[in-house]
Amino acid sequence: MTSSTSPTSAPLRVRSIPAGHDYVRHAVGLATGGPPDPAGIVVLADPLLDPAEPSRWWPHPALEAADRPEVLDGADLVHVHFGYEHRSPAQVAEFVAAVRRRGLPLVVTVHDLTNPHEADPAAHLDRTGHLVRGADAVVTLTTGAADEIRRRWGVDSRVIPHPRLTEPYRLSRLDQRAPRPPERRTVGVVLGSLRAGVAAEGLLPQLADALPAGADLVVMVRSDALAAAHAPGHARHEAALALDTLAERPDVEVRSHDLLTDDELCRALAGFDALVLPHRHGTHSGWLELCRDLGLPPVIPRVGYLVEQWGSPAGSYDPADPTVTELRRGLSTALGGPPVPARAADAEDGAVAAAHAALYRAARAAVASRRGVDSDHVFPRD
């Protein structure tokens, strides 16, 4: 029996891991949990894990498909982005096998070959390798990362650039901010929760010494993480001591804060004239896209493919040896260079979402072809 609905017009329901993230909302489609977008894609909402924290999607239940196959019910395709670092490599391999048993296409976006939050990259590479080798389609954000994926696992990737992260209403609010005094410029660094991949003690003293005349340094750090790091024997105790010393300088502010909302974070970043990314390692960075959204020039650590991701002239430095000379040069480029090119956010969203829609339908058709079944009937519509 032949379906009256063509494969290209039937809505395709995507179990995105996760769905509730700004990257996914812009890259795959804004209609998360709603009707199909114009390309016919429905991104299923993340399961509700905690009514008291409805936006929390981690740890994502769909990654437990090997033991709980029902978590994939209602999906026509599975797309893994991130959030699988709590699973062992063996568990990730079992997840891939479970998706295959269901006959569902698997799409994987490789955001990180080196997890920026883990000190040892080996386990993350092992997990990611299972996903890449088992995927029907692989996406990454830069040509450099695609080349590395091919070298490591012999798998070709589709390069789809990172879309914006900031919503238009947030940018319109920031356009109304009060102007800053022209005689002072502010360089920002965001340390977050002082995770393993965030530099502090090796970078910040050098950065403070590299400040040009008339510039201040603001270091943002979570207050709970800083308090914990002050305990002797804590893994980031040296970072806490370095921050104490820096706070004594008149041109440095150590700004401790609670967890910020997206609006609060963007407002804080909008108060900077340049942002120094403190990554010790990593592959790509959402912080760069926030800089692009906000017109904020970054100083980029030369790790992974961050410089390629930015794609415009920018200051950079070697995080393994952040010298005053190199940081001063990077700050000069950021503070004295041309403005950050404005992004065509809506056009980017449309192009990226269309690329994902085409990729999904091609993956679905490939799985159907392997099974010798018309693609309208591979996945039960419930």
In this prediction, residue 39 has a pLDDT band, given cuts at 50, 70 and 90, of low
d(CA 277, CA 204): 11
Instruction: Establish if 362 belongs to a structural domain.
Output: yes
Whether 265 and 213 share a structural domain:
yes
Q: Are strands 215-222 and 252-257 parallel, antiparallel or unpaired?
A: parallel
Average pLDDT over residues 161-179: 72
Q: Helix or strand or coil: residue 280?
A: coil
pLDDT, residue 326, reads 98
For 144-158, write each residue's pLDDT tens digit. Answer: 999 999 999 999 999
Q: Helix or strand or coil: residue 11?
A: coil
For 224-271, write each residue's pLDDT tens digit. Answer: 999 999 999 999 999 999 999 999 999 999 999 999 998 899 999 999
Its domain, for residue 227, covers 168-336
Instruction: Establish if 322 belongs to a structural domain.
Output: yes
Whether 17 and 152 share a structural domain:
yes
Percent of the chain with pLDDT over 90: 78
Q: Helix or strand or coil: residue 63?
A: helix
pLDDT, residue 118, reads 78
Whether 316 and 206 share a structural domain:
yes
Percent of the chain with pLDDT over 70: 88
Q: Kindly state the tokens that stand for 241.
A: 């001591």
CATH of the domain at 139: 3.40.50.2000
One-letter amino acid at 185 equals R
pLDDT, residue 30, reads 55
Instruction: Establish if 310 belongs to a structural domain.
Output: yes
Check pLDDT > 50 for residue 378: no
Instruction: Establish if 341 belongs to a structural domain.
Output: no
Helix (H) or strand (E) segment spanning residue 151: helix 143-153
Whether 191 and 292 share a structural domain:
yes
Q: Under a CB-based contact definition with an 8 Å cutoff, are residues 254 and 276 in contact?
A: no
One-letter amino acid at 30 equals L
In this prediction, residue 32 has a pLDDT band, given cuts at 50, 70 and 90, of very low
Whether 253 and 327 share a structural domain:
yes
Check pLDDT > 70 for residue 6: no
Whether 69 and 184 share a structural domain:
no
Whether 39 and 155 share a structural domain:
yes
In this prediction, residue 36 has a pLDDT band, given cuts at 50, 70 and 90, of low
Sign of CA dihedral 94, 49, 18, 8: positive
Over the range 282-307, which residues count as b (16 or more CB within 10 Å of their CB) and which as e? bbbbebbbbbbbbebbbbbbebbbbb
Check pLDDT > 60 for residue 35: no
In this prediction, residue 115 has a pLDDT band, given cuts at 50, 70 and 90, of confident
d(CA 372, CA 291): 47
pLDDT, residue 7, reads 46
In this prediction, residue 331 has a pLDDT band, given cuts at 50, 70 and 90, of very high
Structural domains of the chain, count? 2
Average pLDDT over residues 111-120: 84
Whether 156 and 111 share a structural domain:
yes
Residue 59: cis peptide before it, omega within 30 degrees of 0: yes
Q: The tokens 């568990």 sit on which residue?
A: 91
Q: The tokens 């009707």 sit on which residue?
A: 35
* pTM recorded for the entire structure: 0.91
Check pLDDT > 50 for residue 376: no
d(CA 284, CA 154): 21
Q: Under a CB-based contact definition with an 8 Å cutoff, are residues 375 and 6 in contact?
A: no
Instruction: Establish if 378 belongs to a structural domain.
Output: no
Whether 363 and 331 share a structural domain:
no
Mean confidence (pLDDT) of the chain: 90
Average pLDDT over residues 192-216: 96
One-letter amino acid at 158 equals R
Whether 188 and 331 share a structural domain:
yes
In this prediction, residue 216 has a pLDDT band, given cuts at 50, 70 and 90, of very high
Average pLDDT over residues 126-144: 98
Average pLDDT over residues 110-122: 84
In this prediction, residue 222 has a pLDDT band, given cuts at 50, 70 and 90, of very high
Whether 234 and 107 share a structural domain:
no
DSSP character at residue 192: T
Q: Whose CA is closest to 298, among 274, 279, 281, 318?
A: 274
Average pLDDT over residues 26-47: 73
d(CA 140, CA 269): 27
Backbone phi, then psi, for 276, in 5-degree steps? Answer: -95, 120
In this prediction, residue 120 has a pLDDT band, given cuts at 50, 70 and 90, of confident
Instruction: Establish if 1 belongs to a structural domain.
Output: no
Q: Helix or strand or coil: residue 218?
A: strand
pLDDT, residue 375, reads 46
